[in-house]
């Protein structure tokens, strides 16, 4: 199977293109979906083909790439800072608690970048690669298409400390979730509920589930919002004092498909992690009607998700002459030039 940009621009997508383009252009005037139309039109094909190929051996990769984009945008904006390795100047965000031994797909982004650099050298930012990859990952998993505003540039540093504090925890209450989203500018209930729907596919480690199963909030009892049958299923997968890195499907019904089943699960008490179930089980929460609405209507969920993804993608982007277009997503360009200078006998500091 080969991916093409024309495939992503389906007839249904064309019907909503005008509306979403208007919204995207209003949200950040310097980002636009046709940013690479003249300079690297094949960028969608390249990224899509890599994802199709990776999915053939790794059904988790689509969800993993979406999560990378999410974790990037919540930490000082969508600037590909999450992709940077350790440097003498900063510590990588990959070592932060929400990412360590958990965030994945970096090698897939490297592959995309290598192929794009061959086709369009020094043109497409790593931040835009992450953004496009998340959109195509959703689409290939059965989710919606949307026009991705492009034109971001890459950060010159990583933000380890911020990554430890800005990303929502799987153990958050609803109030903590709302604050975490509002702190980055996503202050609508639909932002929180729709973006949480990204957990309609992918996996989580048992270490993020077991407190709900055995000792919820220090009570030595399970989370009372858990469906008893589902709780027993999870206990078999995640025994007390067992291997915390064992993987569990976020959605036990359609684990690799992007659909509204996640919200139906919440209504049945089958949210995998606490922060998901909080959306429906917190008494009198304003998120409950949205969970019910998205559960009942896939189109409404898809529309809310695309709007929230565009809003998230517009968080503090570097544009114009800010930042840089990295040649290698793992290192800033000055490090590459330093190594090149050293190879030619020129001393240069990093």
Q: What is the mean pLDDT of residues 228-232?
A: 98
pLDDT at 1: 46
Answer yes or no: is 77 a known binding residue.
yes
- 329: tokens are 């997503």
Decide which of 338 and 105 is more confident: 105
Q: What's the CA angle centered on 292, arms 264 and 261, to 5 degrees?
A: 25
Answer yes or no: is 229 a known binding residue.
no
Answer yes or no: is 161 a known binding residue.
no
Euclidean distance between CA atoms 89 and 206, whole angstroms: 34
Contact 79, 317 (CB under 8 A): yes
| In-domain check, residue 239 | no
Q: Which residue from 53, 278, 10 is spatially nearest to 143, judged by alpha carbons?
A: 10
Range of the domain at 91: 42-202+250-314
Answer yes or no: is 168 a known binding residue.
yes
pLDDT at 338: 60
| In-domain check, residue 14 | no
Give residue-wise pLDDT tens across range 231-260: 999 999 999 999 999 999 999 999 999 999
Euclidean distance between CA atoms 300 and 22, whole angstroms: 19
| In-domain check, residue 329 | no
Answer yes or no: is 292 a known binding residue.
no
| In-domain check, residue 81 | yes
Give residue-wise pLDDT tens across range 170-190: 999 999 999 999 999 999 999
Give residue-wise pLDDT tens across range 83-109: 999 999 999 999 999 999 999 999 999
pTM above 0.85, yes or no: yes
* CATH at 285: 1.10.420.10
| In-domain check, residue 241 | no
Note the maximum CA span of the chain.
68
Please identify every residue annotated as catalytic. 71
| In-domain check, residue 120 | yes
Contact 173, 282 (CB under 8 A): yes
Contact 203, 247 (CB under 8 A): yes
Q: Which residue from 253, 75, 240 is spatially nearest to 158, judged by alpha carbons?
A: 75
Count the domains in the chain: 1
| In-domain check, residue 163 | yes
Confidence of residue 5 (pLDDT cuts 50, 70, 90): very low
- 5: tokens are 């940009």
| In-domain check, residue 17 | no
- 230: tokens are 């589902």
Contact 141, 54 (CB under 8 A): no
* Helices (runs of H) and strands (runs of E) counted in the chain: 16, 2
Euclidean distance between CA atoms 242 and 207, whole angstroms: 9
Give residue-wise pLDDT tens across range 38-52: 999 999 999 999 999
């Amino acid at each position: 199977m080969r991916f093409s940009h024309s495939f992503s621009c389906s007839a249904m997508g064309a019907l909503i293109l005008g509306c979403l383009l208007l919204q995207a252009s209003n949200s950040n005037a310097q980002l636009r979906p046709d940013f690479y139309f003249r300079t690297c039109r094949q960028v969608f094909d390249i990224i899509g083909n890599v994802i199709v190929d990776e999915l053939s051996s790794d059904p988790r990769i689509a969800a993993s790439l979406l999560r990378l984009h999410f974790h990037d945008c919540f930490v000082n904006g969508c600037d590909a800072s999450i992709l940077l390795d350790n440097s003498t100047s900063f510590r990588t965000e990959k070592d932060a608690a929400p990412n360590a031994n958990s965030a994945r797909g970096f090698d897939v982004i490297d592959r995309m970048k290598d192929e794009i650099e061959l086709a369009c050298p020094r043109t497409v930012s790593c931040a835009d690669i992450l953004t496009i990859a998340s959109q195509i990952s959703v689409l290939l998993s059965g989710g919606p298409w949307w026009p991705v505003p492009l034109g971001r540039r890459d950060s010159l540093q990583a933000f380890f400390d911020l990554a430890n504090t800005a990303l929502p925890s799987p153990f958050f209450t609803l109030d903590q979730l709302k604050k975490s989203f509002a702190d980055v500018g996503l202050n609508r209930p639909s932002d929180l509920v729709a973006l949480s729907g990204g957990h309609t596919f992918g996996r989580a480690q048992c270490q993020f589930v077991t407190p709900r199963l055995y000792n919820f909030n220090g009570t030595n009892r399970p989370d009372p919002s858990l469906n008893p049958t589902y709780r027993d299923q999870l206990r078999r997968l995640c025994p007390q004092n067992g291997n915390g890195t064992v993987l569990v499907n976020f959605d036990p019904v359609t684990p690799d498909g992007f659909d509204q089943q996640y919200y139906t699960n919440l209504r049945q008490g089958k949210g995998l992690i606490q922060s998901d179930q909080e959306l429906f089980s917190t008494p009198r929460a304003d998120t409950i009607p949205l969970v019910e609405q998205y559960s009942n209507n896939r189109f409404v969920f898809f529309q809310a998700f695309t709007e929230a993804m565009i809003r998230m993608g517009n968080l503090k982007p570097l544009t114009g002459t800010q930042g840089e277009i990295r040649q290698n997503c793992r290192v800033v360009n000055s490090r590459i030039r330093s190594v090149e200078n050293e190879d030619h006998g020129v001393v240069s500091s990093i």
